[in-house]
Amino acid sequence: MACLLLQAPAVAQQSRLQKQGTATQLLVDGRPYLILGGELGNSSATCEADIERIFPKLERMGLNTVLVPAYWDLIEPVEGEFDFSLTDKVLQQARTNNLKVIFLWFGAWKNSMSCYAPAWFKQNYRKYPRSQAESGKPLEIASVFSPNVLEADNRAFTRWMKHLAEADKEHGTVLMIQIENEIGMLESARDHSSLADKAFFSPVPEKFLSYLRKNKKQLHPTMLQKWEGQGCRTSGTWSEVFGADIYTDEIFMAYHYACYVEHLAQSARAIYNVPLYVNAAMNSRNRKPGEYPSAGPLAHLIDAWHCGAPSIDILAPDLYDNGFADWVSRYHLPNNPLFIPEVKLTDNDGVRAYYISAEHDAIGISPFSIEDGSDKADNTLVRAYRHLHQLTPLLVRHQGRGVMKGLLFDQQQRERIIEWDNQVLTCRHFFTLPWDPRATDGSTWPEGGGFILKLDKHEYLIAGNGIVVEFADKSEKQMAESVKPLGEDGFALVGNGQTEKTEKVGDAPSPSSRKQVNSKVRKRLGLASVEEVEVLPDGTFRRLRTLNGDQTHQGRHVRISVGDFKALHVRLYEYE
């Protein structure tokens, strides 16, 4: 194993990962690269005609990267005979249409199942055994404990990687490789075949125990709790070290899946040294291991995966459930950069791309079944990607520097308060403004989102769609809670219905009490200027128009309405 890691790659890598501050960035030809991607549907690259039809559309949609399956059953339809024509067509069409490619190896497992293994492999189940459920039922899932399964999978993967390296060495079209797809066990939390039982009832490998001891302070809380629950034992079987339950079964499987993937990862490293990742189906909706793909590269299993597969660069989430902001926060960890290779194709994906790029220093995002989206110029995702292409120089320059915040709002999560240098930024969904009729017509609010980049003490860039930002000094913000809502004209939205003649004592603060309240405010922040700008390739700004008056609510806030994608250059000033 070690000798493979020491071998020099056959060709120089065109893409790699590199740290910038706290961020991990993807570098392509020496420059940071933000993936504005899309993943093809599972069967959309199985014939050359479909590839030729789809790829021009992807360029029109504003993608810079496409994620494409590489199908073992089509690459090796007859054992030992290989066909790389689809791979070559993908590369040719990508270059013709100004796209980069991330290939997904659909090998022994795809969404847990072995559906992309060739027929000759699936039919010879004695040589290539299946996993078994706890009941003893054989599953359409190749056993990770079979050396024959690994040998066949790795042989095909290696032959494909060698062809890929030769075909791409002069171009650098391939950015990353995903190994397998949503790996994991279904129906049972672990494989209960005889091969699996033998490993499960054997001692936990010293390699894993040593990892736990060495990294105890950095272990994921779930892993640490399982280990501490048994007294942090340093020897014993899996049940003795972690307890006897399905969550131990999952840790056991995760470690062995990771060790399997590591063999393929080492093969890739020795042939074409591009970044490698694995993707995970989420453990959502209160499901237990086996009800979701147990033991996949999930956040709570990161230690098993890092120990078993150290050559893998990223554990990446596939996101189809609600709670997007919560899910991405689980995967952006100090030891795991964020890349979202699959997300449900919706109109919200554009603002989510802004959000993760700034809030989580993300490498990129990729809506699934992208070819089903629209390539019309007014499509929401097309417009967002077009704007993000323009903003990329600024985003990648400032990732990891602690000067950006992402914003993401919906009908439930409407507001975020940000404090910077004694300044308070109150950020909200655009529909929280009281005069927009779309906020109250009964329809679901589209997500509003974007990012805030702090350029200097009194200078910001705000970009995105469907957001409102107010600026205040910290002492000013503490007093502002009692201010009545204002209408679009800047006047009180609702009055008390009384004139000076009928005003009674207690209806309004007396002059002395007003003075007492206002004395708490040492200084205030105002908008010196707000300009809508275009970001040029060198990261500088070109003014498109100046916003004031109604467009800033008479100097009270800056805003980008729902349906717009804009960048606003904001300068503040202080007054007393």
- Per the domain annotation, does 322 fall within a domain? yes
- Per the domain annotation, does 269 fall within a domain? yes
Q: Give the range of the structural domain holding residue 569, as residue numbers without chain letter.
A: 405-494+511-575
Q: What pLDDT does residue 517 have? A: 44
- Per the domain annotation, does 62 fall within a domain? yes
Is residue 482 pLDDT above 70, yes or no?
no
Q: Are residues 50 and 169 in the same domain?
A: yes
- Provide the token pair at 93: 């069409």
- Is the separation of the CB atoms in 501 and 448 below 8 Å? no
Is residue 182 pLDDT above 90, yes or no?
yes
- Per the domain annotation, does 105 fall within a domain? yes
Q: What pLDDT does residue 532 have? A: 98
Q: Among 365, 390, 415, where does a domain finish?
A: 390
Q: What pLDDT does residue 312 have? A: 98
**Closest by CA position to 32, among listed 46, 50, 48, 19:** 19
Q: Specify the CATH number for the domain of residue 554.
A: 2.60.220.20
Residue with tokens 């559906």: 115
Is residue 169 pLDDT above 60, yes or no?
yes
Nearest-angstrom CA–CA distance, 104 and 178: 5
Q: What pLDDT does residue 476 have? A: 76
- Is the separation of the CB atoms in 15 and 342 below 8 Å? no
**Model confidence over 214-242: pLDDT tens digits?**
999 999 999 999 999 999 999 999 999 99
Q: Among 345, 360, 390, where does a domain finish?
A: 390
Q: Are residues 319 and 427 in the same domain?
A: no
Q: What pLDDT does residue 404 have? A: 98
Roughly what angle, to the nearest 10 degrees, separates helices 221-228 and 246-271? 130
Q: Are residues 433 and 342 in the same domain?
A: no
**Model confidence over 436-457: pLDDT tens digits?**
888 888 889 999 999 999 999 9
Q: Are residues 136 and 32 in the same domain?
A: yes
- State the pTM of this model: 0.91
Would you tell me how many other CB atoms lie within 10 Å of the CB of residue 124?
14
Strands 65-71, 100-110: pairing is parallel
- Per the domain annotation, does 197 fall within a domain? no
Nearest-angstrom CA–CA distance, 490 and 513: 24
Q: Are residues 40 and 68 in the same domain?
A: yes
Q: What pLDDT does residue 495 have? A: 67
Q: Are residues 135 and 37 in the same domain?
A: yes
- Per the domain annotation, does 479 fall within a domain? yes
Q: Are residues 344 and 296 in the same domain?
A: yes
- Is the separation of the CB atoms in 292 and 283 below 8 Å? yes
Q: What pLDDT does residue 477 have? A: 64
Q: Specify the CATH number for the domain of residue 15.
A: 3.20.20.80
Q: Are residues 538 and 476 in the same domain?
A: yes
- Provide the token pair at 386: 């077009």
Residue with tokens 């022994």: 108
Q: Are residues 342 and 428 in the same domain?
A: no
**Mean pLDDT calculated for residue range 455-479:** 91
Percent of the chain with pLDDT over 70: 90
Strands 314-319, 23-28: pairing is unpaired
Q: Among 343, 365, 390, where does a domain finish?
A: 390
Q: Are residues 20 and 89 in the same domain?
A: yes
Q: Are residues 312 and 343 in the same domain?
A: yes
- Per the domain annotation, does 71 fall within a domain? yes
Q: Are residues 353 and 474 in the same domain?
A: no
Our count of domains for the chain comes to: 2
- Per the domain annotation, does 159 fall within a domain? yes
Q: What pLDDT does residue 437 have? A: 86
Which is more confident, 516 or 119?
Answer: 119
